[in-house]
Amino acid sequence: MWLLRITEHGERFAWLFNSVIVLGILVAPWANMLSSVLAIVLLLLRKISWGELPGYLLILNLSILLVQILV
């Protein structure tokens, strides 16, 4: 009986893992490219400075990651 429960949980985990992998492959590169383009545009418009860029990209990428997890 315990072996059956382990198998059931393993199948659920495999489905979740595969869904996250597919979402990461399809969404993450485009979201990161979009955040990089947005950062370059803001740099060109002088809305942020070079010193603020790493923190800005980190916050933007973390927010994209959070959206991916919630979706």
| pTM of model > 0.75 | no
**Cα 39 to the center of its chain, rounded Å:** 17
One-letter amino acid at 71 equals V
- Between 23 and 66, the more confident residue is 66
The helix or strand, by DSSP H or E, that contains position 32, with its residue range, turns out to be helix 2-44
Identify whether 50 is part of a domain: yes
Tell me how many domains the chain contains.
1
Q: Is the pLDDT of residue 66 over 70?
A: yes
Query: Per-residue pLDDT tens for 11-47?
Result: 666 666 666 667 667 777 787 788 778 877 877 788 7
6 falls within a domain:
no
Going from the C-alpha of 34 to that of each of 27, 31, 37, 57, the distances in angstroms are 11, 5, 5, 11
pLDDT at residue 2 tops 50: no
Question: What range defines the domain where residue 60 resides?
Answer: 23-71
57 inside domain:
yes
8 A C-beta contact, residue 57 and residue 43: no
